[in-house]
Amino acid sequence: MSTEPQASDRCPRCGATFACGAAGPDPCACTTVTLGAALQERLRTQFRGCLCLACLRALAQPQAAGDRGGGGGAATGP
Ligand SMILES: [Zn+2]
């Protein structure tokens, strides 16, 4: 009856506890979310470790609702 994933990880973005697949037999939830290379690099610089699935899905969207006020460098292509 102990098949529940251990929420030993805390999302650095929203503070929610979740279980990273890296610590279990199942693949990490982040593998189910397609993140752009630029976004992955940005997350690495902003956060340490994995984010929860909710945040990953929110960030994976082109226009995240809660992504305003970033003020980061806008990567304007040629
Ligand atoms: Zn989160």
- Residue pLDDT tens, the chain, 78 long: 655 555 677 888 999 888 776 666 667 767 778 888 888 888 889 888 778 888 888 888 765 455 555 555 555 657
Tell me how far the alpha carbon of residue 42 lies from the centroid of ligand 1, in angstroms.
15
Q: How far is CA 2 from CA 5, 6, 48, in A?
A: 8, 9, 28
Tell me how far the alpha carbon of residue 14 lies from the centroid of ligand 1, in angstroms.
4
Compute how many other C-beta atoms are within 10 angstroms of the C-beta atom of residue 22: 12
User: Is 48 within the bounds of a domain?
Assistant: yes
Is the CA virtual torsion 71, 58, 9, 29 positive or negative? negative
Report the domain count for the chain. 1
User: Is 54 within the bounds of a domain?
Assistant: yes
Compute how many other C-beta atoms are within 10 angstroms of the C-beta atom of residue 43: 20
User: Is 46 within the bounds of a domain?
Assistant: yes
User: Is 65 within the bounds of a domain?
Assistant: no
Tell me how far the alpha carbon of residue 78 lies from the centroid of ligand 1, in angstroms.
33
Tell me how far the alpha carbon of residue 36 lies from the centroid of ligand 1, in angstroms.
18
User: Is 75 within the bounds of a domain?
Assistant: no
Q: Which domain holds residue 39?
A: 9-60
**pLDDT for position 20:** 72
What 3-state DSSP class applies to 10? strand
User: Is 70 within the bounds of a domain?
Assistant: no
